[in-house]
Chain A
């Protein structure tokens, strides 16, 4: 068990029927590191997330969260994980507070501790004053903020975000990108961020390029640019995926 690795994916493969969605995927993420998983639609990002969250089971390969095998030590591993899914997973007819309380109950937090954590996370995202509002009344950006707050309530070590900025306007998108980078740095949180937008990548980020289920590049932004002999991530991506475009 190596606790300095927050998330480790080893030799992971997965197929839907005969169609291979992931092929021998390998990477590691350290605490405090923000890793962007860049890939076009259908690259296998969502499948990878479903395997890490154990919605699907990986027959080939191994996934460890803070040293816990997701298959054998599922509950210990899941306790370390915070997730923001691509689609919104909030209950629209409940208030922000009710949604967050539901999450704290699922994680076994008691009343006082739960209220404290909810207040802390919502205040950090400037959403505490809106805690009594129904989620339906919030705009897309604010809903995302609530989902990020929720994912952090149980103090996970690894935060997964599956294209969390899809459908948001530019200011909301940039604010969320900035906040998550800040979280990684300040809270020593390991972040895995699936995206197909290159402006969400910061120069110090760890970059993984996934294409047709295979890891085409894995390293710092500079490593990837050097390896592809390109000057921009856009060009690097174009080279690695043989013609796919990113925005």
Chain B
């Protein structure tokens, strides 16, 4: 009976998030427009400027658009993870987070379910993006479209957990602009999403190290290899570890006796 309770609650949370996503058309469109602009405009412009050597998982010379596609997939998940953190802050301000927190289930389970729900939404967004990219002649082997699924789940969970952790620190909705400036942009630009590591090393050793240890880089590499049917063990271990660390910290952040919740709220 207890397991059934967990099962129903988890699907309740996931179902609500998916339904909200499907009905909020603007959110769906804006989530797609961002990476598409990067793909159609930025990547097309940079195609001539950036020469790419053959590096795994690619077996031949590739166009810049092909290179940045996994990075843009990562971008979708990064924004989605942060967006879910935004919605958590919003939910908390509006009170619907309270309804979740007072239901008789362990808080870690509720947060994990919320995270799974957010990840589910980001996976949907990615597949729509890949479908559009396919018509733009960015086509991976068909197995890649299957292999990418577990990679997306892990990277989505990791980035979502980071968002969750941040949401436990953010006191008010307005502070989300800070997250954009101090988390999303540095994470995205200091990663392998837009340029390969060796290229970064040519210009700065420090930047190279930052990009190497940036969990977002590892998530992008996990996705990149999976899209070509390959398993990048290092990226997998790194992303999994980052997920566990972020998730544990987020659970502590939402723990009523230890976390940041204690410093919030009114009289």
Contacts and interface: CB of A to CB of B under 8 A. Distances in A.
Contacts of B5: 107-108
> Which residue, of B6, B9, B266, B267, has the highest number of chain A Cβ atoms within 10 A?
B267
Interface string A2-36: 00000000000000110001000000000000000
A106 B19 contact: no
B100 A106 contact: yes
A79 B104 contact: yes
A55 B9 contact: no
A75 B104 contact: yes
B257 interface: yes
A21 B5 CA distance: 36
A103 interface: yes
A88 B19 CA distance: 20
A56 B8 contact: no
A107 B100 CA distance: 10
A78 B5 CA distance: 14
A78 B106 CA distance: 11
A42 interface: yes
A220 interface: no
B69 to A, nearest CB: 32
B41 to A, nearest CB: 32
B181 interface: no
B263 A16 contact: yes
Contacts of B100: 106
B172 interface: no
Contacts of A53: 98, 101-102
Interface size range on A against B: 35 or more
Contacts of A98: 16, 19
A194 to B, nearest CB: 12
Contact of B12 (A21, A50, A93, A101): A101
A42 B23 CA distance: 39
A105 B102 contact: no
Contacts of A47: 265-267
Interface residues of B, number: 36
A94 B19 contact: yes
A110 B8 CA distance: 8
A240 interface: no
A55 B105 contact: no
Contact of A55 (B6, B96, B102): B102
Contacts of B98: 53, 55, 83, 85, 89
Given A46-B265, A57-B256, A89-B96, A106 B105 contact: yes
Contact of B256 (A43, A46, A54, A106): A54
Given A21-B267, A55-B256, A106-B103, A88 B95 contact: yes
Given A56-B265, A89-B96, A105-B12, A83 B102 contact: yes
Contacts of B13: 102, 105-106
A60 B232 CA distance: 51
A56 B15 CA distance: 28
B134 to A, nearest CB: 32
Contacts of B66: none
B95 A106 contact: no
Contacts of B19: 94, 98
A59 B258 CA distance: 11
A109 interface: yes
Given A21-B267, A83-B99, 4 more contacts: A16-B267, A47-B266, A53-B102, A106-B105
